[in-house]
Structure 1
C-alpha cells in the first residue's frame, strides 16, 4: 500500500502541534481541545476557512453563555445536557451557525464535566477556542496555487475544440470520417473538472476577486453546448451543394483559431458575407438541396452564437483592463 501525505495533512499536523503547545504553555485546562478545534477548522480554501472560523467562534461563545446559565439554574444533570442540545442546535441552525455545532459541543461538555460556571472556566474555554481557531487560520494562509493546473485544463480544452471543429470540416467535405469522437466525452469531463478547480481557486482569493478562469471555462462550456447541437446537422450536409465547401472552409479556419486571441470580428464578418451570398442565390430546385441549405443556414446561426459568446467575454476583459488576465 502506497502512503500518501497531502499538504492538508501536513498543515493539520503542524497546526495540532502549535495549538497544543501554546495551550499547554499557557497552563490551560483540557489544552488538547485546542488541537481538536484546529483540526475542525482546517479548510480547503481561505474564504471557507474564514467563514467556518466565524461560525465556530460565535457558536462556542453562544454555547458557553446558554449552557452555563442552564446548568446553574437547573443543575448539572444528563437530562439538562440533553435539553440543552435539543434547544441549542435549532438555535444555531436558525442563526446560520450550524458549522459550529461540533466545536461548541466540545466546549459545552467541558462546562458540564467541570460543573463550574466560573469566570476562570469561561476565560479558559475562550482561550482554547481562540488558540484553536487562530492556529487553523494561520495554517490556512497557505493554499497551493492551481494556476498551472488551470492552464493545463485550458490547453487541453482548446486542443479538443480545435480537433472537433476540424473533424466537422472533414466530414462535410468527405461525407465520412474515421473519427471516434473521443474528444467529445473528454471535453465534458475536462469542463466539469476545470470549473471545480476554478471555483476553489476563486475561494482562495481574499484580497482580490479573480474569477476570470471560471468565466473562461463557463464560456467554453456554453460554446461546447453549441458544438453538440451542431453534430446532428453535420451528418445531413454533403458536397452536393456548393455552399457546403464554404462552411467546411470556415470550420477548418475556425479550428486553427481556437485560442485566447480575439478573432471574433473577422469570423463574424465571414459569416455575414456567406449570408449575403445565400440571399443572392436562386431558390433550391430539389428537396435534397433545400434540406442541405436549411441545415447550412441553421449552422451559420449557431456558429454566430458560438462566436458571440466569446465576444461577450472579450468585451468584459477590455472593460476590466488593468487586471491581469489568464485568457
Structure 2
C-alpha cells in the first residue's frame, strides 16, 4: 500500500480553493463555488505553468462568453444551441492553442446558459469569478519550496554511482571476471531523469532565469553516462587480460575516488596522457587475442578522454560540501 502523504501542491490547492470561494462569497457573487474550481485549475507544478494556465483559461473563457452571447441571444437558450455553439467553439480554442482552458470556459458558458439571460450584471459576475479564481491560483502558487537540498541529494547519489561503476570496471580489468550485474548504470539513468526534471522545475519557478546550474550539471553527467554505456562492452569482453589492463584499472580506481562536482578534468586528462605514454612503452602484442585486447583498451582510453573533455567544459558547481 502506497504511503499516504500530503504534498505542497495538494496543500496549496486546498487552501487556494477555500480562499477564492470565501472571497467570491464575501462579494455575494452568483455561483461563488466556481471560483474554487478556477483556482484549482491554475495551481500547477511551477510558477510559469501557473501563469500560462491562467492565461489560456482567461483567453478561452473570454472567447466562450462571446460565443455564448452570440449563440444564445441570436438563437435561444436551448440544448441544441449549446451543442451547435460547442461544435464551433472547441475548434476555435484549439486553433488559438488555448485548449487547456476548455474546462474553465465551459464553467462560464454553463453559468450563462443556466441564467437564461445575458446581462451586464452577469458579465460582471463572471469576470469577477475569473479574477478571483485565476488571481488566487497565481498568488497561492507564488510560494515554492526550496529544492536545493533535493538537487544536491541527486548530485551526491549520481556521483556515488559513477564511482561504483569505475570501481567495478577496474575490478574486472584486474580479475578478469566479476559478479557485477550493472545495476548502477540502470540506477544512474533513472536518477538523472528525475534530477533533470527537478532542475527544470527550478528554472520554471524563476521568471528571469533561463537555465539552472544543476540542470547543466546533470545534462553533462548524462552525456558522460552515454559514453560509459557505449564503451563498457569493449572492456568487459576482453579475450585476455593484458598488462595494459592493470594500468587502466589503476587510472579508473584513482578517478573513482575523485568523482565530484568540481572541475579537475584537466588534471585527469594529463594523467590519461601518461597512461597512453605507458602503453607505448609496452611490448607489442604476441598474438591476435592480445592485439584485440590492447586495441580495445586503447579505444577505451580515447573514450575516457572524451568523458573528461565533457567535464572540463563544465565550470563546476558551488556546493557547501564537496566529496573528496
Counterpart Cα distance in 1 of 2:256 and 2:201: 30
1:177, distance to aligned residue in structure 2 (A): 2.4
Instruction: Name 1:320's counterpart in structure 2.
Output: none
Q: Which moved more, 1:250-259 or 1:214-223?
A: 214-223
Moved over 6 A (4+): none
1:212–1:325 Cα contact (<8 Å) kept: no
Instruction: Name 1:84's counterpart in structure 2.
Output: 85
1:272, distance to aligned residue in structure 2 (A): 2.3
Q: Which moved more, 1:127-136 or 1:190-199?
A: 190-199
Counterpart Cα distance in 2 of 1:76 and 1:139: 37
Mark the runs of 5 or more structure 2 residues left unpaired by the alignment. none
Counterpart Cα distance in 2 of 1:66 and 1:125: 14
Instruction: Name 2:32's counterpart in structure 1.
Output: 31
Counterpart Cα distance in 2 of 1:241 and 1:95: 65
Counterpart Cα distance in 2 of 1:240 and 1:127: 77
1:104, distance to aligned residue in structure 2 (A): 0.5
Aligned counterparts, 1:54-203, within 5 A: 54-203=55-204
Deviations 1:247-290 (A, max 9, x none): 11111111111011211111111222333444565543311221
Counterpart Cα distance in 1 of 2:167 and 2:242: 20
Q: Which moved more, 1:26-35 or 1:80-89?
A: 26-35
Instruction: Name 1:4's counterpart in structure 2.
Output: 5
Counterpart Cα distance in 1 of 2:187 and 2:221: 14
Counterpart Cα distance in 1 of 2:137 and 2:44: 8
Deviations 1:152-205 (A, max 9, x none): 111111011111101111211121224343322222221222222222222222
1:174–1:238 Cα contact (<8 Å) kept: no
Q: Which moved more, 1:280-289 or 1:210-219?
A: 280-289
- What RMSD in Å do the two structures reach over aligned CA positions? 2.1
Q: What secondary structure is seen at the aligned counterpart in 2 of 1:11?
A: helix
2:17–2:36 Cα contact (<8 Å) kept: yes
1:40, distance to aligned residue in structure 2 (A): 1.5
Counterpart Cα distance in 1 of 2:171 and 2:91: 62
Counterpart Cα distance in 2 of 1:173 and 1:238: 14
Q: Which moved more, 1:199-208 or 1:242-251?
A: 199-208
Aligned counterparts, 1:131-280, within 5 A: 131-237=132-238, 240-279=241-280
Q: What secondary structure is seen at the aligned counterpart in 1 of 2:314?
A: helix
Mark the runs of 5 or more structure 1 residues left unpaired by the alignment. 318-323
2:240–2:290 Cα contact (<8 Å) kept: no
Counterpart Cα distance in 2 of 1:117 and 1:92: 22
Counterpart Cα distance in 1 of 2:12 and 2:126: 24
2:48–2:205 Cα contact (<8 Å) kept: yes
1:74, distance to aligned residue in structure 2 (A): 1.4
Counterpart Cα distance in 1 of 2:34 and 2:232: 59
1:237–1:244 Cα contact (<8 Å) kept: no
Instruction: Name 1:285's counterpart in structure 2.
Output: 286
1:208, distance to aligned residue in structure 2 (A): 2.6
Counterpart Cα distance in 2 of 1:42 and 1:178: 48
TM-aligned CA distance change 1:240 to 1:81, over 3 Å: closer
TM-aligned CA distance change 1:80 to 1:268, over 3 Å: same
Instruction: Name 1:17's counterpart in structure 2.
Output: 18
Deviations 1:91-111 (A, max 9, x none): 001101001100001001111
